Amino acid sequence: MVYRELTQAEYSDLESRILYEDNHLLIINKKAGEITQGDKTGDECLADSYKAFIARRNSKPGQVFLGIPHRLDRPVSGICILAKTSKALGRLGVMFKGSEVHKTYWALCCSKPEVPEGILENWLIKNEPKNKSYVTDERPGAKLARLKYKYLQSTDNYHLLEVELMTGRHHQIRCQLGHLGCPIKGDLKYGAPRSNPDGSICLHSRSIRFEHPVSHLQIVVEAPVPATWPKL
């Protein structure tokens, strides 16, 4: 297998964003705008970029295996796990479905919530043509979405919330915070008044905690927020 030749700048950037690595896992800090897995745009996905990175770093002539047990939306940044073995991929898939992977997000919002912390519980329904979720009543096709949020601090214009997902629904954090009246900075789709210059939204997968699928050690990883965010 021949992978794309990376420039030195690309190689250094990919290397700098590795948060954890062992024989089974590769955990990286995804940039907003990157796609985790290939899609109809034809843009290079994160998995392919790191396959090229590993092939070069390890002087590996054959095919590099990197499985994708979960995804982050394209405009979202932060922690993304890639599996380096099929054993890890299969076990991680089960763990994500069983809510055994505990994820915390930071959301920089346009408004401060009236209640500083709480649990949001809404029924969401996805509109496929618009690629958007809506809060609705309980009805066929709707899925229950639950999350915990906590206000952390404010900048001059924005307000930082910490969010812990209790379910994993399409655009869940974006939709539920928008419905709360606290749209995420840059997220026009869910109520923000203006976009970010780079097309990102200020939603960041900040930390993750789980039992290693093979060694069973406790893994805790944290990702720094993008440099483009307002200073916190």
Q: Could you say which of 39, 48, 73, 187 is catalytic?
A: 73
Q: Which helix (H) or strand (E) holds 56?
A: helix 46-57
Q: Which residue has the tokens 């997000």?
A: 105
Residue 23 CA to residue 189 CA, distance in Å, equals: 39
Residue 143 CA to residue 137 CA, distance in Å, equals: 10
Residue partners of 37: CB distance under 8 A and separation at least 6? 45, 46, 47, 68, 71
Question: Which sign does the torsion angle of CA 175, 180, 181, 185 carry?
Answer: negative
Q: DSSP assignment, residue 43?
A: P
Residue 138 CA to residue 162 CA, distance in Å, equals: 27
Give the bridge partners for 151, in sequence order: 161
Residue 14 three-state SS: helix
Say whether 73 is catalytic: yes
Question: Which sign does the torsion angle of CA 181, 169, 127, 107 carry?
Answer: positive
Give the bridge partners for 210, in sequence order: 219
Do residues 123 and 139 make contact, with C-beta atoms less than 8 angstroms apart? yes
Residues with catalytic function: 73
